[in-house]
């Protein structure tokens, strides 16, 4: 235990806290006012310069531009979180990590509200960030004394623990390379990102909402991740879509880890640096731009907020809504990222309130008011997302309510039984996750005895285990590795929560169960680092290469735009009259102009469709009549022999005999759709064609074949 840690713990104990704060306050009060305000002024000036540099639209180096914008997004989240703190805990210290997570939750709530009337356009995203930065500057000015104290703490740590300082700087460098590598990573998934996720962010930016009734991917998420992609995309190109999940959210996680305090003790520096190192060197399973680290951030924020609420319970009495609001913000934000995240916050909060009810004293009304307020606030924050989901997919609770989903394509395996269920659950837990030492973290959690009424770690454990079981049970047609991607967020958040809790053990205290947990966690963490080292080194070499390439890249100007942009948005889409409905099945729909035409992305034909339901295996005439019924005259499709990725007919013919039932069940639907489109194309006029992508007018018949010339054979 370092001297600085001991000093921090002493300042946090009930008896020593007033004296410690008084001593620090007296020391700072002895300084001239300008010296007290200098650290906050320097930070504020840096933020203002960054904002002034990145907001005006002009050519810049793409690595610098997106990195600075991502940093400002974090600052904006902290600003919005400071606003939440002003209302719920104005007299209590709330660390930067919690503020940033609360602020991200508030931005998510505001974004959902703006999507209902279709106002969440690019300008709105820019204004949300700018307002958040202004709020952060106001908080800096109001709390300049606290900022000065943080700087003094960092200075003391540097002087007293130079060896630990070097270790911290090395780990910070590794985290920085991870984040810059995310900004520079130009690899997007052609089977997920290119055909859907990037187009979702572009459509939200263009139209202010996200109506995609034919998209299974839209059906299976409320759209929170898309909202955050849009916000980062204000100063990023589609190929930099990893910036939010793997850079911004990793910074939020790091801040949450750094700021953790339990039982009035900070987590040891050893546990902080080892946990962060484990996080950023873990083998990556993020194959697309969907939620991975963003889920970790919000689930870890839920754990941290429960711990903060326990600290608040020991202080002066406060209104129940002041505790319920931050819990609702981070819980709802997590729910909007992926549909399978829904059970985790519900179970975690439910378990926490049950434990609190059993352990606290008071009248029944006093004990149930806060849970009811938290439930009401969570529901109120979810309502805008429910509305937008209903507008798009005719459901607000998929998969309980199917909406536009095609029920015959269920995701549960046939011939299933209890024995296969148990074996599959174990298989996903053992082989589907990159955290190979998960069992040791569970063992460590069993040794932790939480004296707090809300039991933050136990509650998150209940949520994570329940969410895991529900996820695997509902997706038995898939395989362990793919299901592991969906469980990554809450499983990793739980492991970090165990490490943070165990890290509050002190060598100066009498050995107990928490020390046993701490030993197990350290072994599990370092074992994970050893297991991950080979793949981690290769991944970091690739990150360095990507960073170098983007550092020397040309600024973003019209001359450096990809040729597909003009092909899709000008020449192909330009053949369709402005304002006309257009249905598309192409490799890269994110190049389309969603402001010019209302566009439906057919995504994975067969999984979802508007009533009366897209006909399959009924011939091309039935499909053509269906398009006429729903008001679609114009089609833009890529021919299967020209598709670069997802819509290749031979590829899906191979999936007829794939080992995964989910692909064996779906492949015939896409092949049938492709064949029907080929027949429809032969009957109707092509108004544009380029590189195998054709635009078809379903209201015009194809031109008759030219008569052979006289005398021709």
Going by their DSSP bridges, the two strands 261-262 and 599-601 should be labelled as: unpaired
- Residue 502, classed as helix, strand or coil, is helix
Token pair for 18: 């007033």
**Residue 374: CB partners within 8 Å, gap ≥ 6?**
323, 324, 327, 328, 349, 353
Contacts of 537 (CB under 8 A, 6+ apart): none
- What average pLDDT does the segment 557-581 reach? 91
pLDDT beyond 90 at 63? yes
Q: Pick 264 or 270 by higher pLDDT.
A: 270
Instruction: Count other Cβ atoms within 10 Å, centred on residue 534.
Output: 10
The whole-angstrom separation of Cα 258 and Cα 255 is: 5
- In this structure, the answer to whether residues 567 and 512 fall within a common structural domain is no
The two structure tokens encoding residue 177: 């390379």
pLDDT band (50, 70, 90) for residue 645: confident
| End position of a domain, from candidates 520, 535, 550 | 535
The pLDDT, as a whole number, for residue 36 is 80
Q: What is the pLDDT of residue 707?
A: 57
Q: What are phi and psi of 92, to 5 degrees?
A: -110, 145
Distance (Å, whole) CA 248 – CA 179 = 8
What predicted TM-score, i.e. pTM, was given to this entire model?
Answer: 0.94
Rounded Cα gap, residues 420 and 418, in angstroms: 6
Angle at 226 between CA 220 and CA 230, to 5 degrees: 170
Residue 326 and residue 345 in contact, taking contact as beta carbons nearer than 8 Å: no
| H or E, element range at 606 | none
Q: Is residue 373 part of a domain?
A: yes
Residue pair 516/447 in contact by the 8 Å Cβ criterion: yes
Distance CA 179, CA 372 (A): 39
Provide CB contacts within 8 A for 45, sequence distance 6+: none
Residue 707 lies in a domain: no
Do the domain assignments include residue 711? no
pLDDT, one tens digit per residue, over 390-435 is: 999 999 999 889 899 998 888 888 889 999 999 999 999 999 999 9
Q: What is the CA radius of gyration of the chain?
A: 27
pLDDT digits (tens, 9 = 90+) for 659-692: 888 999 999 999 999 999 999 999 999 999 999 9
Tens digit of pLDDT for each residue in 520-543?
A: 999 999 999 999 998 999 999 999
% of the chain beyond a pLDDT of 70:
94
548 in a structural domain: no
Q: Span 249-273, mean pLDDT? A: 92
Strand partners, 637: 585, 694
Residue 13: the pLDDT is 42
Q: How far is CA 551 from CA 64, 239, 405, 538, in A?
A: 8, 15, 44, 20
Residue 665 lies in a domain: yes
Q: In this structure, is residue 557 part of a structural domain?
A: no
Whether 708 is covered by a domain: the verdict is no
Q: Judge if 104 and 26 occupy the same domain.
A: yes
Could you give the CA distance from residue 236 to residue 243 in angstroms, rounded to a whole number?
8
pLDDT band, very low/low/confident/very high, at 263 (cuts 50, 70, 90)? confident
Same domain for 456 and 370: yes
* Contact in structure between 642 and 701 (CB atoms under 8 Å): no
Residues 161 and 52 occupy one common structural domain: yes
Question: Do 346 and 268 share a structural domain?
Answer: yes
pLDDT digits (tens, 9 = 90+) for 148-190: 888 898 899 889 999 999 999 999 999 999 999 999 999 999 9
With residue 690 as reference, give the H or E element that holds it.
Answer: strand 684-690
The vertex-259 CA angle with 43 and 373, nearest 5°, equals: 105
Q: What pLDDT sits at residue 73?
A: 98
% residues pLDDT > 90 (the chain)? 78
pLDDT of residue 21: 47
For position 44, what pLDDT does the model report? 94
Structure tokens at 684: 């109707």
- Model confidence at 713: pLDDT above 70: no
Q: State the residue for tokens 């998209």.
A: 215
Q: How many domains is the chain built from? A: 2
CA–chain centroid gap for 506, Å, is 34
Q: Is residue 556 part of a domain?
A: no
> Residue 113 contacts by C-beta under 8 Å, 6 or more apart in sequence?
384
Are 292 and 285 spatial neighbours (Cβ–Cβ below 8 Å)? yes
Domain hosting 408: range is 3-535
Q: What is the pLDDT of residue 234?
A: 96
627: left (phi over 0), alpha (psi -120 to 50) or beta: alpha
478 and 581 co-located in one domain: no
Strands 693-701 and 634-638, by their bridges, are antiparallel
Q: Among 519, 535, 551, where does a domain finish?
A: 535
Per-residue pLDDT, averaged over 434-441, amounts to 96
322 Cβ contact partners less than 8 Å away, ≥ 6 residues apart: 87, 88, 89, 312
Residue 501 has pLDDT above 90, yes or no: yes
Asked if residue 493 lies in contact with residue 295, where contact means CB atoms within 8 angstroms, the answer is yes
SS3 for 604? coil
Closest among 30, 24, 158, 159 to 93, alpha carbons compared: 24
Q: What share of the chain is helix, strand, coil (3-state, %, to 5)?
A: 65, 5, 30
Same domain, 514 and 645: no
The helix/strand/coil state of 266 is strand
pLDDT tens digits along 599-638: 999 999 999 999 999 999 999 999 999 999 999 999 999 9
- Asked if residue 569 and residue 506 are part of one domain, the reply reads no
Residue 213 and residue 76 share a domain: yes
Q: What is the 3-state secondary structure (H, E, C) of 110-136?
A: HHHHHHCCCCCCHHHHHHHHHHHHHHH
* pLDDT band at 712; cut points 50, 70, 90: low
Torsion from C-alpha of 430, 306, 71, 278, nearest 10 degrees: -30
Least confident of 17-21, 134-138, 239-243: 17-21
Give the pair of three-digit tokens for residue 464: 């994570």
Instruction: Compute the distance between CA of residue 5 and CA of residue 157 in angstroms, rounded to an integer.
Output: 9
- Predicted pLDDT at 655: 93
Q: What is the mean pLDDT of residues 59-88?
A: 96
496, 603: one domain: no
- Looking at per-residue confidence, does 408 or 222 come out higher? 222
Phi, psi of 214, rounded to the nearest 5 degrees:
-100, 5
Number of other residues whose CB lies within 10 A of the CB of residue 697: 18
When the pLDDT of each residue in the chain is averaged and rounded to a whole number, the result is 91
How much is the average pLDDT of 337-356? 96
Give the pLDDT of residue 15.
41
Task: Please give the pLDDT value at position 317.
Answer: 80
Q: State whether 441 and 323 are in the same domain.
A: yes
Inter-residue contact 578 to 602 (CB < 8 Å): no
Structure tokens at 95: 């660390």
Co-location of 81 and 193 in the same domain: yes
CB-based contacts of 527, cutoff 8 Å, min separation 6: 436, 437, 440
pLDDT at 20 over 60: no
């Amino acid at each position: 235990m370092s001297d600085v840690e001991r000093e921090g713990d002493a300042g946090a104990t009930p008896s020593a806290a007033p004296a410690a704060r008084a001593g620090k306050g007296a020391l700072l009060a002895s300084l001239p006012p300008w010296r007290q305000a200098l650290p906050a002024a320097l930070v504020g000036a840096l933020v203002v310069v960054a904002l002034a540099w990145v907001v005006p639209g002009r050519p810049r180096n793409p690595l610098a531009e997106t990195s600075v914008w991502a940093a400002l997004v974090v600052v904006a989240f902290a600003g919005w979180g400071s606003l939440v703190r002003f209302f719920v805990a104005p007299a209590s210290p709330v660390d930067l990590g919690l503020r940033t997570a609360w602020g991200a939750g508030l931005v998510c709530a505001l974004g959902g509200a703006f999507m209902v009337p279709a106002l969440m356009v690019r300008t709105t995203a820019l204004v949300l960030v700018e307002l958040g930065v202004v709020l952060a500057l106001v908080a800096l000015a109001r709390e300049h004394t606290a900022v000065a104290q943080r700087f003094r703490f960092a200075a003391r740590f540097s002087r007293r623990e130079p060896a630990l300082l070097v270790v911290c700087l090395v780990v910070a460098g590794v985290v920085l390379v991870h984040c810059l590598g995310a900004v520079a990573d130009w690899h997007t998934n052609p089977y997920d990102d290119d055909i859907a996720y990037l187009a979702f962010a572009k459509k939200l930016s263009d139209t202010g909402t996200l109506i995609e009734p034919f998209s299974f991917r839209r059906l299976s998420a409320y759209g929170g991740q898309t909202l955050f992609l849009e916000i980062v995309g204000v100063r990023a190109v589609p190929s930099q879509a990893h910036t939010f999940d793997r850079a911004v959210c990793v910074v939020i996680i790091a801040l949450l880890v750094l700021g953790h305090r339990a039982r009035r003790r900070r987590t040891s520096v050893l546990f902080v640096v080892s946990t962060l190192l484990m996080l950023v060197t873990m083998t990556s399973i993020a194959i697309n731009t969907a939620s991975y680290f963003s889920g970790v951030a919000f689930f870890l924020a839920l754990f941290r907020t429960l711990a903060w609420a326990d600290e608040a319970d020991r202080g002066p009495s406060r209104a129940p809504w002041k505790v319920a609001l931050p819990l609702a913000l981070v819980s709802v934000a997590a729910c909007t990222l992926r549909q399978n995240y829904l059970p985790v916050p519900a179970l975690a909060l439910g378990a926490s309130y049950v434990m609190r009810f059993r352990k606290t004293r008071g009248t029944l009304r006093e004990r149930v008011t806060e849970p009811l307020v938290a439930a009401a606030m969570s529901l109120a924050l979810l309502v805008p997302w429910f509305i937008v989901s209903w507008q798009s997919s005719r459901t607000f609770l998929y998969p309980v309510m199917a909406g536009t989903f095609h029920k015959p394509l269920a995701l549960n395996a046939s011939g299933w039984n209890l024995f296969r269920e148990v074996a599959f659950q174990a298989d996903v837990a053992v082989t589907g996750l990159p955290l190979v030492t998960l069992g040791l973290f569970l063992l460590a959690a069993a040794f932790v005895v939480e004296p707090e009424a809300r039991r933050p770690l136990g509650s998150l454990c209940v949520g994570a285990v329940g969410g895991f079981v529900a996820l695997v049970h509902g997706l038995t047609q898939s395989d362990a590795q793919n299901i592991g991607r969906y469980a990554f967020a809450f499983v990793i958040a739980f492991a970090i929560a165990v490490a943070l809790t165990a890290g509050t053990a002190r060598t100066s205290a009498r050995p107990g169960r928490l020390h046993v947990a701490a030993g197990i966690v350290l072994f599990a963490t370092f074992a994970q680092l050893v297991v991950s080292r080979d793949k981690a080194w290769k991944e970091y070499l690739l990150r360095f290469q990507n960073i170098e390439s983007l550092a020397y890249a040309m600024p973003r100007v019209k001359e450096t735009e990809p040729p597909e942009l003009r092909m899709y948005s000008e020449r192909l889409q330009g053949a369709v009259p402005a304002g006309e409905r257009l249905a598309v099945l192409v490799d890269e729909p994110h190049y389309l102009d969603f402001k010019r035409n209302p566009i439906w992305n057919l995504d994975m034909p067969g999984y979802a469709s508007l009533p009366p339901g897209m006909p399959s295996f009924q011939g091309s005439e039935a499909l053509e009549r269906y398009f006429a019924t729903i008001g679609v005259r114009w089609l833009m499709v890529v021919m299967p022999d020209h598709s670069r990725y997802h819509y290749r007919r031979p590829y899906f013919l191979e999936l007829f005999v794939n080992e995964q039932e989910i692909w064996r069940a779906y492949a015939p639907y896409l092949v049938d759709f492709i064949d029907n489109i080929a027949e429809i194309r032969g009957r109707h006029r092509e108004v544009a064609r380029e590189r195998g992508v054709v635009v078809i007018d379903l209201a015009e018949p194809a031109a008759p074949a030219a008569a052979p010339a006289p005398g021709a054979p």
